[in-house]
Amino acid sequence: MEIRATSKETQPVIPPGEIKMEKVTAGLGTEIMDAEVEVHRTANMATISAHFADLPSTMLSPADCNFLPIVTPLVANAWESLLRHKKLFNTFSDVPFSIRNGFDMGIQTNPSTTYTPPNHTSALKHPHAVLSHIQKELSLGRYTGPFSCSRLELLIGPFRTSPLGIVLKAGTADEYRLVQDFSFPRNDQNQISVNSEINIDNFRCDWAATLDVDAAFRHIPIHPSQQSSFIIGWQDLYYIDHAAPFGAASSGGIFGQTADALMAVFCSRAIIAANWVDDFVFFRSSKPNISTSPPPTSMLHSYYTLETIYSITLPLGWPWKLSKTQPFAKIFKYLGFLWSLKHKTVQIPDDKKTRYLEKLLPWVEDQKFTLQEAESIFGTLVHCSLAVPEGRSRLPAVRATLKSV
C-alpha cells in the first residue's frame, strides 16, 4: 500500500485499532527490496492487549483522525518474539510497543494555535531540492498530503511547522539534504521551539561506536498524538510527517533505544559489534582451518558471515543500506577513517586528505573569512585530530581565537 497525495486530498482510511500488514517497495540506498510494513491506528488505546500498553505520563491523547497512521518497515511482532526468546524483553519492552503505537518524541503539549513560520532562504533558493525530497517521502508513505492550511486544521486540529533549509551533502557538489530547524524560534517568549519542549535527558541510550542503516531515523514512527508538531510546510501546502525527522532533539535517542535492543541481541549471539548512531561495525575471527587441526570451540563461535547478520535482522524489518555495506576485511572504512586491524592503525583516507588540504589552502594565503567558515575549519581540524594526535595541542588556541570573535 502506498500513501500518496491526490488533487482531492483523499487518503486511505485506516479504522481505529485495525492492523494491516501490507507489502510496499522500500528503497535501500540504490537497492530496492520488498519489506513488510505494519500500518495501523491506535486511537482506541483501550483495545491494546499488551501488558505494557499504558500510555507514558508524557504521552498526549491521539487526535481522532485517520490521517495519522503508524508507518514503519520494523515488524513489532518479530521484535517482541526475538526479545522474549533472548530473555531481553523486560529490558526492551518499550521497543516493540513503540513500533506498534509510535514513539514518544517528548512533546509535552499539542499546539493550541497553528504556527507556520517562513522557510529559510537556503530552501527558497533550492525549490527543486525541497520538492524532490517531498516527492520521495510521499512515495515511501512517510508523508501524507498535500493539504491546505484550513483543510489540515479541520482534519487534525491546530498544528505547527518548523522552517525548512537546504544544506549541501558533505563531499558532493550538487546533492542536497533537507533540514528542519526545530530550534526555531529562538528567544521568543510567545512561541517556544519544538526542541526546547523536549527534555533530552529522557532519551539516553548506549552509544558505542560496516553496515549502515538506510535513513535511520525515518523508520522510527511518531506517535499519532504528536505528529501535529512535525508538519512540513512548503509553498502554502502542508504534509503530515509520520516518521522521526532529522534535527529533532529526541530522534537520536529514540533510534538509539532500538539500536540498543538490536546490539543486545547480537551480544546474546556472541557477535562482536559496535555502533555509532546508524553506523555498525562487526568483528569476527578468521575462518578456522579445520583440515589441519580441530579449532578451539571459542573460535568456531566467533566466526560468522554477513548472512548470519541478515538472518537476524531481515525478519525484524531492519533496513541496512546495501550500497554502504563492506564485506569482512582486515582494512575497512568506519566513521570516516581507514582502520587496519593487522597494523592496529587508523588514518584519514586519501580522498579526504586531498579535500581537507584544499579547504585549508586559502587559510595559508592569509585571506579573510567569516566566523561560520572559521567554525567549519575548526570542526574539520577536530575530526582530523582523532587520527592525528600530534595536532590536538594546537586546537585550544584555535578555539580561543573563535571565542574572542
Q: Is the pLDDT of residue 284 over 60?
A: yes
Can you give the pLDDT at residue 44?
Answer: 32
- Mean per-residue pLDDT, 4-18: 32
Whole-number Å distance between alpha carbons of 49 and 30 = 39
How sure is the predictor about 230, in pLDDT bands with cuts at 50, 70 and 90? Answer: very high
Which residue carries 513560520 as its cell? Answer: 117
Contact (CB, 8 A) for 272 and 283: yes
List pLDDT tens digits, range 96-131: 999 999 999 999 899 999 999 999 999 999 999 999
Q: Is the pLDDT of residue 304 over 70?
A: yes
Put the strands of the sheet holding 232-234 in their side by side order. 143-147, 237-241, 232-234
Can you give the pLDDT at residue 214?
Answer: 53
> Between helices 251-268 and 94-101, what is the axis angle to 10°?
130
Whole-number Å distance between alpha carbons of 142 and 121 = 25
Can you give the pLDDT at residue 204?
Answer: 67
Residues 6+ apart with CB under 8 A from 337: 346, 347, 348, 349, 386, 387
- Which of 45-54, 210-219, 238-247, 296-305 has the weakest average pLDDT? 45-54
Integer-rounded Cα radius of gyration of the chain: 23
- According to DSSP, residue 33 is labeled E
CA angle 102, 114, 152 (to 5 degrees): 65
Which residue carries 566513521 as its cell? Answer: 335
How sure is the predictor about 333, in pLDDT bands with cuts at 50, 70 and 90? Answer: confident
* Three-class SS state of 279: strand
Maximum alpha-carbon separation in the chain: 76
Backbone angles phi, psi at 362, to 5 degrees: -60, -25
Written as one letter, the residue type at 22 is E
Of 75, 68, 58, 66, the C-alpha closest to 24 is 75
Q: Is the pLDDT of residue 14 over 90?
A: no
Beta-bridged to residue 333, according to DSSP, are: 338
Q: Is the pLDDT of residue 294 over 70?
A: no
All three cell numbers of 274? 559496535
Return the higher-pLDDT residue of 231 and 188. Answer: 231
Cis peptide before 288 (omega within 30 of 0): no
- According to DSSP, residue 203 is labeled -
- Name the strand (E) or helix (H) holding 275: strand 272-276
* Three-class SS state of 160: strand
- Mean per-residue pLDDT, 139-155: 96
Which residue carries 483495545 as its cell? Answer: 47
How sure is the predictor about 68, in pLDDT bands with cuts at 50, 70 and 90? Answer: very high
- Mean per-residue pLDDT, 351-361: 89
List pLDDT tens digits, range 182-224: 999 998 888 999 999 999 888 765 432 245 555 788 999 999 9
How sure is the predictor about 326, in pLDDT bands with cuts at 50, 70 and 90? Answer: confident
Residues 6+ apart with CB under 8 A from 192: none
**Residue count of the chain:** 405
Beta-bridged to residue 222, according to DSSP, are: 103
Written as one letter, the residue type at 213 is V
* Three-class SS state of 196: helix
Contact (CB, 8 A) for 201 and 207: no
User: How many DSSP H helices and E strands does the chain contain?
Assistant: 13, 13
Can you give the pLDDT at residue 293?
Answer: 52
Can you give the pLDDT at residue 87?
Answer: 97
CB-side neighbour CA atoms (13 Å) of 405: 12
CB-side neighbour CA atoms (13 Å) of 115: 18
Of all residues in the chain, the percent with pLDDT exceeding 90 is 44
Q: Is the pLDDT of residue 70 over 80?
A: yes
How sure is the predictor about 243, in pLDDT bands with cuts at 50, 70 and 90? Answer: very high
Can you give the pLDDT at residue 210?
Answer: 43
How sure is the predictor about 136, in pLDDT bands with cuts at 50, 70 and 90? Answer: very high
How sure is the predictor about 33, in pLDDT bands with cuts at 50, 70 and 90? Answer: very low
Residues 6+ apart with CB under 8 A from 225: 59, 60, 61, 62, 63, 102, 110
CA 323 from chain centre, in angstroms, equals 17
Can you give the pLDDT at residue 213?
Answer: 58
How sure is the predictor about 331, in pLDDT bands with cuts at 50, 70 and 90? Answer: confident
Contact (CB, 8 A) for 49 and 139: no
* Three-class SS state of 156: helix
Instruction: State whether the Cα torsion 290-292-294-295 is positive or negative.
Output: negative
Return the higher-pLDDT residue of 280 and 220. Answer: 220
Return the higher-pLDDT residue of 130 and 257. Answer: 130
